[in-house]
Structure 1
Amino acid sequence: MIERIESGVRMSKIVKHNGLAYLCGQVGDGDTVTEQTRDCLSRVERLLETAGSSPEQMLQVVIWLADMADFAEMNAVWDAWVPKGRAPARACGEARLARPELKVEIIVTAAC
């Protein structure tokens, strides 16, 4: 069974299937990479909770940065947030994001 949560015409914020939760890409508010990353991770936590999951159950994370020069700044926020001993498999790359003011986008797959 596939469960779609917070669905719209274009996408669902969460899709659950076979004990996994797939979150749509999350972006955050703020002017800096630090602010946007913190807001992204707050949104990720809310969606994981809605899906019946948590940061401890993350399996894979893909992070897109508008500029890889922001890698260390994003990682400072990430490293403080990710549960100790529970880091997911992760990839990070540079991409042009949907709006020019966006600096980071985070995509999560987690167990439920």
Structure 2
Amino acid sequence: MSITRLGTERRRMSKIVIHNETIYLCGQVAKDASADIQQQTQTMLDKVDFLLAQAGSDREHILSATIYIKDMQDFANMNEVWDAWVIEGHSPARVCVEASLARPELLVEISVVAAVKT
């Protein structure tokens, strides 16, 4: 059993954990928390792309995604960005729940599980 942890600068978490060809990303949020829901969603997904590349994967290999959204009134606007980002035919299992996030200005957060590209 092999476990690799990347991005362990913070004691409480790793940015990436790889176990048996499965990649787990810690929750990702927007770079600019003052932006609107669409901009926050896009920069959050850009971070997912970056981390997946670091781990040897990409968005075609995402198995599941859990999206936390501050206000379900933003659901349609978030989905507009998500739908443009997801590659047709490679949609992961997904759940989206309304939740309080770590900082009040954050509107959306995502946690991703993906397979390593082979």
TM range (shorter): over 0.9
1:27 to 26, 29, 35: 29
How many pairs does the alignment contain? 112
- 1:65 is matched with 69
Partners of 1:98 and 1:78 in 2: CA distance: 21
In the alignment, is residue 106 of structure 1 matched against residue 107 of structure 2?
no
Deviations 1:75-110 (A, max 9, x none): 000000001110000000000000000000011000
Partners of 2:112 and 2:105 in 1: CA distance: 22
Partners of 1:31 and 1:61 in 2: CA distance: 22
**Consecutive aligned runs of 4 or more in structure 1 exceeding 3 Å deviation:** none
Give the TM-score, by structure 1 length: 0.98
Percentage of identical aligned residues = 54
Unaligned segments of structure 2, at least 5 residues: none
Letter of the 2:23 counterpart = A
Q: Compute the RMSD of aligned alpha carbons.
A: 0.6
Letter of the 1:10 counterpart = R
Deviations 1:1-26 (A, max 9, x none): 11000112110000000100000000
In the alignment, is residue 38 of structure 1 matched against residue 37 of structure 2?
no
Partners of 1:26 and 1:75 in 2: CA distance: 16
In the alignment, is residue 55 of structure 1 matched against residue 59 of structure 2?
yes
In the alignment, is residue 86 of structure 1 matched against residue 90 of structure 2?
yes
Letter of the 1:106 counterpart = I
1:31 Cα offset (Å): 1.6
Unaligned segments of structure 1, at least 5 residues: none
Partners of 2:53 and 2:110 in 1: CA distance: 16
Give the TM-score, by structure 2 length: 0.93
Partners of 2:59 and 2:72 in 1: CA distance: 24
Deviations 1:48-99 (A, max 9, x none): 0000000000000000000011000000000000011100000000000000
